[in-house]
């Protein structure tokens, strides 16, 4: 253990707690102060969290700094001490005995201030609270007596404060706040200043009070909560902080919200709403919807899809299509036809689908296996119900939507907005029985009313349960009402036509209909002949009301015309009939040909008209008679063919001879033309060759002339160059002669007196200077300095000096 005895030295604004080990009392020492500690003096510190004194082995750790409260801050002091006058009592410089503390009390002291603490006191310095216009504080009253006494004017109300009273200090009212004694600012997530909620346009928030009441606020504004209110957040992330802002729900005429009124209220226009009333608000009534506390949104949860439907969307019904709508109040099914966007009212309208049996599907949609499979699954959804319809929502939430062929119902679907609305008010959940379709479905192959589309030239008869009938002619699209169906025809098949195998059909071909039949007739010579026929039939528009009056028009047609044909052929022999079978048949059925008039056979019973007959074949039943007729006809045909062949050969020979003559003429003219062209080409080639030779000769002559001229120029340049060099040499020689004369004249002017002076100055110095003067001449003539000096001083008094210099040089070398 470290030794705590020693010298306690406290500087200005420092203090320390010293405990007397013999008595247990704790005293405070405040600087500036120095104290020699004895073995009984133990430095201690006060632990506010445990409310006890802790021994400090290190004396430095026992020294504390006085709490400093700058201006704009405040000090929260726990367990204060007061003197007899009620003023705050603080330790003085030096040793101070323990004062009587008001344990459990707390006061707020604004800055600037600083003082040491008594043993058992705790102080916290907090910066003053600066508030912007979108910030606020939550303040609680912890001492009602002091709060009522010290409260500033902007906090005072008509009633006195009570302990626990909560207040909200808004930045729009108080830009800076220092809580007086009796008030404390409550922190949130470690921060005292809280952010208010700034709402923009089309935004709203929900504040939930402790009483359970909700307050809805719309933007643009800054929303401050009351002290007992909290912001509701989005439910997307219940464990996270959430978003306190919500978007208003935008609606268009094809959208709607299903609302339940949960409390009485009065609309802005004076309309009274009672609790329990259900509303369906669409974009036609209100394009921007803000939730309110009296409204609860009714949403349907789909257990199959695992999502909730909040916003209701219109259903696209294209042109030529429709939807069955069940009106719940009336129990009636009506048809909504396109083109339109139909928005069903969920309070009273349900989209349903009509269930068809297999026979009906095969008649209305022949060869459509998908339609058979779809209606079979719809019947499974009925579960034995006597109704022949199923709700659209039940279809979508069932396994029908997962089938391969049924998936086409939802492919290509589109919505008029997001799947889920941003609704964060009260909600009520309901089942899915009457949920309207959640999306705007564009592929409605099986979604809507059974659609009948007769092709061009076809017609159907629509019959309802009241007995009303109407004929529809294609091309058209028929949307069957819920109680409507199609009249069924039963037609004979086979050749000849019989009733053994009847074809059931709802589509009647009224234009260019073809009915084929085989009729056995007997000639007057008792020969049976089979005639294969094809009738062209039209149903006249002016008699359309009668078209379906004859259920089996094929049998009726064939029986009637068969009787007419048998009677006509009975009066003819077999050879005569075979040779003129087509004319006989047409005249018998269509009547004798009259110039300018069309031949037809009309059936007034159902408005049917035969406008043409084609004889496809005539066959004699007796093989012997048939062979005899065939042989006779074969011989006659063969003779005719041979004669025609000979005539054709003659004409062919004549034509071939004429063609060969023309070909020979053309070949002769072609050869002459080729010779003429060849001669012309040879002459043109010679001319071109001569022109090329002349051009080549002219080019060579021009080249030689150019070379001659070039040589003359070179000779002129060479002469001029030689002349310039000669002039340069003459000038150089003259210059050298002039320089030699100048030096000769200079040295001739040297007098005996000068020579004597040079001797006086000294041989060496004079020779050096003289050498410097004569050096340029020696360098020019390239003869050396000695040679030039000998030539200059030869015969003069200086010749001896020069000889001495040269002699010394020789010895030195």
User: 632 and 593 in one domain?
Assistant: no
User: 438 and 302 in one domain?
Assistant: yes
pLDDT, tens digit, 9 for 90 and up, residues 214-239: 999 998 999 999 989 999 887 654 44
Establish if 455 belongs to a structural domain: no
**Residue where a domain terminates, one of 399, 429, 449:** 449
- The CATH number of whichever domain residue 567 belongs to comes to 3.30.479.30
| Domain tally, the chain | 6
Establish if 265 belongs to a structural domain: no
Q: How far is CA 316 from CA 297, 352, 395, 448, in A?
A: 24, 15, 18, 10
Establish if 467 belongs to a structural domain: no
Establish if 370 belongs to a structural domain: yes
User: 331 and 241 in one domain?
Assistant: no
* Lowest-pLDDT range of 4-13, 306-315, 568-577, 584-593: 306-315
Instruction: Check residue 440 and give its pLDDT.
Output: 41
User: 303 and 436 in one domain?
Assistant: yes
User: 283 and 415 in one domain?
Assistant: yes
Establish if 257 belongs to a structural domain: no
796 has pLDDT over 90: no
- Quick count: other Cβ atoms within 10 Å of Cβ 423? 22
pLDDT, tens digit, 9 for 90 and up, residues 546-603: 999 999 999 999 999 999 999 999 998 888 888 888 999 999 999 888 887 888 999 9
192 has pLDDT over 70: yes
Tokens of 634: 């074969």
Establish if 60 belongs to a structural domain: yes
Instruction: Check residue 319 and give its pLDDT.
Output: 82
621 has pLDDT over 70: yes
**DSSP SS3 for 466:** coil
Contact 615, 585 (CB under 8 A): yes
User: 144 and 122 in one domain?
Assistant: no
User: 153 and 20 in one domain?
Assistant: no
pLDDT, tens digit, 9 for 90 and up, residues 151-179: 988 888 778 899 999 999 999 999 999 99
Instruction: Check residue 765 and give its pLDDT.
Output: 62
Please report which confidence band the pLDDT of residue 614 belongs to, taking 50, 70 and 90 as the band edges. very high
State the burial class of residue 625 (Cβ atoms within 10 Å of its Cβ: 0-12, 13-18, 19+): middle
Domain span at residue 779 reads 752-812
**Residue where a domain terminates, one of 652, 686, 712:** 712
Instruction: Check residue 661 and give its pLDDT.
Output: 83
**Residue where a domain terminates, one of 590, 621, 652:** 621
User: 434 and 305 in one domain?
Assistant: yes
Contact 533, 391 (CB under 8 A): no
Tokens of 141: 């009253």
**Is the bond leading into 197 cis (omega within 30 degrees of zero)?**
no
Say how far apart CA 669 and CA 676 lie, in whole Å: 11
Instruction: Check residue 811 and give its pLDDT.
Output: 44
Establish if 56 belongs to a structural domain: yes
User: 183 and 96 in one domain?
Assistant: no
**Mean pLDDT, to the nearest integer, of 69-84?**
93
**Mean pLDDT, to the nearest integer, of 353-374?**
84
User: 636 and 616 in one domain?
Assistant: no
Please report which confidence band the pLDDT of residue 812 belongs to, taking 50, 70 and 90 as the band edges. very low
Please report which confidence band the pLDDT of residue 807 belongs to, taking 50, 70 and 90 as the band edges. low
Contact 292, 264 (CB under 8 A): no
pLDDT, tens digit, 9 for 90 and up, residues 28-44: 999 999 988 888 889 99
Establish if 492 belongs to a structural domain: yes
Instruction: Check residue 743 and give its pLDDT.
Output: 66
Please report which confidence band the pLDDT of residue 785 belongs to, taking 50, 70 and 90 as the band edges. low
Q: How far is CA 506 from CA 250, 488, 515, 576, 759, in A?
A: 48, 5, 17, 43, 161
User: 313 and 173 in one domain?
Assistant: no
User: 707 and 762 in one domain?
Assistant: no
pLDDT, tens digit, 9 for 90 and up, residues 682-716: 888 888 888 888 888 888 888 888 888 888 888 88
């Amino acid at each position: 253990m470290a030794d705590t005895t020693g010298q306690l030295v406290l500087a200005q604004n420092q203090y320390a707690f010293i405990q007397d080990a013999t008595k247990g009392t704790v005293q405070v020492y405040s600087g500036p102060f120095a104290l020699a500690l004895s073995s009984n003096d133990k430095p201690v510190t006060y632990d506010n969290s445990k409310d006890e004194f802790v021994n400090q082995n290190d004396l430095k750790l026992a020294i504390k700094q006085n709490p400093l409260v700058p201006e704009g801050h405040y000090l929260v002091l726990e367990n204060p001490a007061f003197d007899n006058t009620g003023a705050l009592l603080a330790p003085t410089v030096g040793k101070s005995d323990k004062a009587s503390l008001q344990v459990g009390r707390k006061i707020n002291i604004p800055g600037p201030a600083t003082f040491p603490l008594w043993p058992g006191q705790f102080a916290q310095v907090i910066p003053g609270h600066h508030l912007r216009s979108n910030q606020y504080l939550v303040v609680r009253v912890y001492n009602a007596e002091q709060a009522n006494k010290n409260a500033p004017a902007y906090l005072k109300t008509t009633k006195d404060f009570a302990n626990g009273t909560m207040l909200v200090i808004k930045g729009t009212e108080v830009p800076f706040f220092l809580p007086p004694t009796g008030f404390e600012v409550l922190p949130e997530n470690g921060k005292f200043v809280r952010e208010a909620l700034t709402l923009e346009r089309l935004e709203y928030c929900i504040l939930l009070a402790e009483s359970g009441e909700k307050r809805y606020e719309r933007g643009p504004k800054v929303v401050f909560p009351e002290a007992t209110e909290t912001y509701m957040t989005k439910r997307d992330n219940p464990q996270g902080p959430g978003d306190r802002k919500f978007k208003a729900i935008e609606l268009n005429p094809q959208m709607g919200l299903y609302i339940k009124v949960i409390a009485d209220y009065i609309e802005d226009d004076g309309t009274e709403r009672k609790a329990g009333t259900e509303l369906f608000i669409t974009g036609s009534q209100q394009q921007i919807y803000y939730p309110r506390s009296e409204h609860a949104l009714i949403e349907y949860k789909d257990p199959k899809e695992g999502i909730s439907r909040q916003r209701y969307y219109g259903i696209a019904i294209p042109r030529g299509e429709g939807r069955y709508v069940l009106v719940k109040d009336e129990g009636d099914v009506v048809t909504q036809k396109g083109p339109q966007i139909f928005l069903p009212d969920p309070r009273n309208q349900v989209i349903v689908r009509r269930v068809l049996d297999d026979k009906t599907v095969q008649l209305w949609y022949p060869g459509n296996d998908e339609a058979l499979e779809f209606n079979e699954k719809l019947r499974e959804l009925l579960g034995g119900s006597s109704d022949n319809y199923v709700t659209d929502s039940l279809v979508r939430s069932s396994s029908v939507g997962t089938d391969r062929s049924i998936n086409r119902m939802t492919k290509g679907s589109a919505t008029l907005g997001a799947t889920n609305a941003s609704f964060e008010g009260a909600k009520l959940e309901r089942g899915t029985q009457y949920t309207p379709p959640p999306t705007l479905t564009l592929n409605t192959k099986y979604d809507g009313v059974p659609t009948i589309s007769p092709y061009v030239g076809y017609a159907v008869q629509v019959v309802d349960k009241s007995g009303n009938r109407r004929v529809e002619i294609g091309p058209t699209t028929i949307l069957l009402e819920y109680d409507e169906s199609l009249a069924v025809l039963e037609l004979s098949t086979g050749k000849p036509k019989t009733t053994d195998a009847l074809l059931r059909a709802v589509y009647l071909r009224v234009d260019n209909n073809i009915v084929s039949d085989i009729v056995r007739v007997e000639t007057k010579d008792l020969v049976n002949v089979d005639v294969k026929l094809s009738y062209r039939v039209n149903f006249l528009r002016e008699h359309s009301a009668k078209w379906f009056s004859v259920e089996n028009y094929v049998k009726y047609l064939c029986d009637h015309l068969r009787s007419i044909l048998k009677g006509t052929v009975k009066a003819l022999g077999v050879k005569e009939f075979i040779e003129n079978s087509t004319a006989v048949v047409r005249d018998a059925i269509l009547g004798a040909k009259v110039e300018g008039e069309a031949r037809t056979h009309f059936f007034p019973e159902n408005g049917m008209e035969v406008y043409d007959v084609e004889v496809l074949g005539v066959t004699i039943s007796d093989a012997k008679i048939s062979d005899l007729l065939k042989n006779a006809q074969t011989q006659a045909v063969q003779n005719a063919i041979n004669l025609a062949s000979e005539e054709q050969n003659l004409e062919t020979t004549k034509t071939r001879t004429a063609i060969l003559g023309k070909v020979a003429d053309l070949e002769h003219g072609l050869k002459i033309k080729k010779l003429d062209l060849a001669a012309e080409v040879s002459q043109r080639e010679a001319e071109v060759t001569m022109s090329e030779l002349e051009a080549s000769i002219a080019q060579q002559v021009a080249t030689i002339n150019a070379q001659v001229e070039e040589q003359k120029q070179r000779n002129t340049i060479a002469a001029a160059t030689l002349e310039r060099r000669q002039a340069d040499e003459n000038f150089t020689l003259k210059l050298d002669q002039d320089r030699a004369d100048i030096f000769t004249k200079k040295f001739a002017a040297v007098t005996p007196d000068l020579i004597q002076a040079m001797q006086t100055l000294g041989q060496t110095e004079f020779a050096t200077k003289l050498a410097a003067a004569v050096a340029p001449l020696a360098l020019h003539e390239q003869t050396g300095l000695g040679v030039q000096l000998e030539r200059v001083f030869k015969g003069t008094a200086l010749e001896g000096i020069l000889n001495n210099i040269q002699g010394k040089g020789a010895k030195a070398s």
